[in-house]
Every structure is written in C-alpha cells, then in structure tokens.
Amino acid sequence: MAVVARYGSALSHPGVARVVASAFVCRMLSGMVSLSLLLVAADASGSYANAGAVSGAYAVALAFTSPAWGRIADRHGSRTALAWAVSFQTLFFGLFVTLVATSVWPGLLVPAAFLAGTATPPAAAVSNAVYMGVVADEEDRKTLFALCGLLTESVFVCGPLLVAAIVAVLPVLYAVVVTAGISFAGVWWLRAAPAVARVDRERPALAGPGMRLDWNRRQAHIQLVVAAAAFAIGGLQVTVAAHAGELGTSAGLFIAALACGGVLGSFLYGGLRLPGTGPAQLTVALTLYGGCILALGFGPATLLTVGLLLVIGFVNGPADAIEAILVGEYASAGTRAQAFAILVASNWVGFAAGSFVTGVVVQHASTTAGALTAGAAALVAALSMTPSAAREEARQRARTAGPGSVQAPTGHP
C-alpha cells in the first residue's frame, strides 16, 4: 500500500497524469516500429537482409537526430518540436507505405525508413523535461521516472504483440500504417497537455543559434555511463541468445525473464524510499548488473539462467530511472529536452555497439567471452561512478549534520 501511495502522490501533481498517459501512447512507437518495418520490408522484398537494413536505417537515423529535436524543443518550445516532428514522420511513413504498395525497387525502402527515423518525435525527452519542470518533490520525480521505465518495459511486451495481432487479421503493410497512426495520435495528445504548455511558457530564453548544449563534466560523464550500460544490455541479449542455443532452450524465455525483472524492479524502486544518493544507488545497481552478467559466462543451467536474468532486469529497471534523473539534474533548465534526447541517443548507440561487438566476440571466441565483454562494460561504468557517489554522499552528510559541521564543498554542484 505504501508503494501504491507513492505513485498516487507522484501522479497527483497538476497535469502530470495526462503527460504520463500520453507519453505511454507515444512510447508504443518504440515497441512497434522495428518489428513493423522488418515484417513489411521482408514481405515486400523477400529478403531478410534488406529488411534488417530497413530496420537498422530507422534506428541509426533516430539515434543521431534525436539531439537536434531536443534542441528545437529547448529553443522554440516542446509543442513546436512535437508538431513538426510528427508531421514529417507521418509524411515519411506515408512515403514508405506508398513505395511498398506500388512495388517499386525494394532498395528504396532503406532511405525511406531512414527519413522516418530522422523525424521521430522527441516525446520521451519532452515528457521527462516536464517532470523536471513541474514536479518539485525529489521523491515524486524519482517515482515518475521509475514509472516511465516500467511503462517502457511494458511497451516492448505489448508492442510486438499488437503488431502480431495486426498482421494476423490484416495485410502486413497495415502494421506500419497502425504504428504511424498510434504515434500521430499520442504525440498530438501529449502536445495539447496543459503541463507541456506550462513548461514552454516558463522555459528560459536561450541565446545564440546552433546545437550548443550547456555541457558540463557531470553531464558528459553520465551520458557515457548510459552508453556503457546500454552496451552491456545489447551484449547481454546476444549472449543470452547464444546461451539459449547451447542449452536447447528458447531465447524468448530468457528475454521474458529479463523484462519481468525490469517491470518489478522499476515498480518497487518508484514506490520505496531507498538510502543513499542517486550516484551511490546507480553504482550499486550497475555493480550487481555487471556481476550477474559475468555469472552467465559460467554457462548456468536453464533455471539458474532465468534467476540471474530476473535479478539483472530487477536492478536494470532502477538503473535506467536513476540515469534519467541524473541527466535531468545535471542539465540546466534551458537544455533539459536536448539532454534527455541525447540520453535516447546514448542508449541506442550503446545498445547497437554492444550487440555488434559482443556478436563478433561470441562468433569468434565463445559465449563466455561474450558475457565477459558485456559484464565488463557495466562494471567499468559502476567503477567510474564511485568518485561521484563518494562526493555526493559526503555532501549529503554535511547538509544533514546541521550548523557546526564541516562545510560542504562549494562551487558547481
């Protein structure tokens, strides 16, 4: 009941519940688009190589253009960025569907998917910036970011199931049509939210053109930590698939265990008050995360593998939430949307790199070597967080000690 009460408190802030709900609809794009593009391209071309190129083109474009949309949101307002992005995205999805329907050269589907990826609306960045701008209570913000992680995990379960249902009753092309329609509806719903309009009105004026970000050492560091953690999860999925093949077990069972752990971990993290600062909590989570991945390198049996993946998901869910919180805290009010958009890019780039590198390692060495590669990335990220965690813990002790205690360090926090 205490956990549920925490979520009730977080959602009670004016306008926040609507932002959470509309952002969830927007996030359905992430759970549906890769599979939709893959299935449609494979059906149109008869080639899974071409289908993979189509899906990959979308992901690459999204990763490298999301910071630009975040910058537009910071400079010109979230509503402006969302409106332009979803309009272009709908146009490019329409182009993709037209190319498939007219049976033109399948190679054209790759640039069409790339264009659609460049126009991916910055819904997650905008909603995260709203939480930072509207919710003053730190515990409530923590709960909201944990809820976002929980909903994201749910999207990657619900999205593929919805795509499967669509192609079961309609021509496969409608998978892309429905995906585009859901994204369009969710983005316009989010854009019309009063809380989004409030943050737009209160955003500070930014001087100077271009893509300049109010960058600082802590922001750069946390983005690198995000990329390393995403590298680990990308490598983990490749390792798990290879390990499942060695055991003669379905990789789907293992991935489902990982997702279930993530949902439970995110839910509990959002509803409980845990000791320690954000950097300290992230250090612990990444250490457990990396250690469990390394344990997979010993080739455990099916039940033990499921148990390890449940633990990995359980700590990965809170880790994602903490990373987002720190990205928001380390950014100035006028650059939060771009910082959160870079967070998206860091996750995509890290995941892709981890999948590729670990795939090569597994192919040419062993599954054990793949687990070592993925686990080492998480442990390096944890190790790099240790000094930040120590400094934040010292500052917190100095603040709570009261008058007469040793003064907390001064300067940029």
CB atoms within 10 A of CB 333: 15
User: Residue 51 pLDDT > 80, yes or no?
Assistant: no
As a whole number, mean pLDDT of residues 161-170 equals: 88
Contact 255, 240 (CB under 8 A): yes
Nearest C-alpha neighbor of 343 from the set 54, 55, 27, 62: 62
As a whole number, mean pLDDT of residues 9-16 equals: 87
Contact 390, 277 (CB under 8 A): no
As a whole number, mean pLDDT of residues 154-175 equals: 87
As a whole number, mean pLDDT of residues 145-174 equals: 86
Report the range out of 64-73, 332-341, 397-406 with the highest average pLDDT.
Answer: 64-73
Q: Locate 86 and state its tokens.
A: 């979803």
The span from the CA of 158 to the CA of 155, in Å, is 5
Over the stretch 259-308, which tens digit does the pLDDT of each residue have?
888 888 888 888 777 788 889 999 999 999 999 999 998 989 999 999 99
The span from the CA of 244 to the CA of 242, in Å, is 5
CB atoms within 10 A of CB 77: 19
The predicted pLDDT at position 31 comes to 83
Q: Which of 174-188, 222-236, 331-345 has the lowest mean pLDDT?
A: 331-345
The predicted pLDDT at position 182 comes to 95
Over the stretch 195-233, which tens digit does the pLDDT of each residue have?
998 888 877 655 445 555 556 788 889 999 999 999 998
User: Residue 77 pLDDT > 60, yes or no?
Assistant: yes
Give me the domains of the chain, ranges plus CATH numbers. 7-203 (1.20.1250.20), 214-399 (1.20.1250.20)
Show the CA angle centred on residue 239, arms to residues 236 and 241, nearest 5°. 110
Contact 172, 41 (CB under 8 A): no
Per the model's pLDDT, the better-predicted residue between 359 and 211 turns out to be 359
Helix (H) or strand (E) holding 346: helix 336-364
The span from the CA of 244 to the CA of 300, in Å, is 10
Nearest C-alpha neighbor of 166 from the set 43, 27, 21: 43
The predicted pLDDT at position 333 comes to 75
Nearest C-alpha neighbor of 173 from the set 68, 229, 61, 94: 94
Q: Locate 212 and state its tokens.
A: 């300049």
Q: Which of 152-156, 183-187, 280-284 has the lowest mean pLDDT?
A: 152-156
The predicted pLDDT at position 305 comes to 92
User: Residue 116 pLDDT > 90, yes or no?
Assistant: yes
Nearest C-alpha neighbor of 145 from the set 20, 252, 41, 286: 20
The span from the CA of 351 to the CA of 329, in Å, is 24
Contact 338, 125 (CB under 8 A): yes
The span from the CA of 216 to the CA of 205, in Å, is 19
The predicted pLDDT at position 403 comes to 53
CB atoms within 10 A of CB 202: 10
As a whole number, mean pLDDT of residues 301-329 equals: 91
Helices (H), 102-216: 109-118, 123-134, 138-169, 174-191, 194-202
The predicted pLDDT at position 413 comes to 36
Q: Which of the four pLDDT bands, split at 50, 70 and 90, describes residue 405? A: very low
User: Residue 383 pLDDT > 90, yes or no?
Assistant: yes
Helix (H) or strand (E) holding 362: helix 336-364
The rounded mean pLDDT for the chain is: 86
The predicted pLDDT at position 210 comes to 55
Q: Which of 10-24, 42-56, 183-197 has the lowest mean pLDDT?
A: 42-56
Q: Locate 97 and state its tokens.
A: 């569907």
Q: Which of 21-25, 284-288, 331-335, 407-411 has the lowest mean pLDDT?
A: 407-411
The span from the CA of 250 to the CA of 255, in Å, is 9
User: Residue 237 pLDDT > 80, yes or no?
Assistant: yes
The predicted pLDDT at position 365 comes to 86
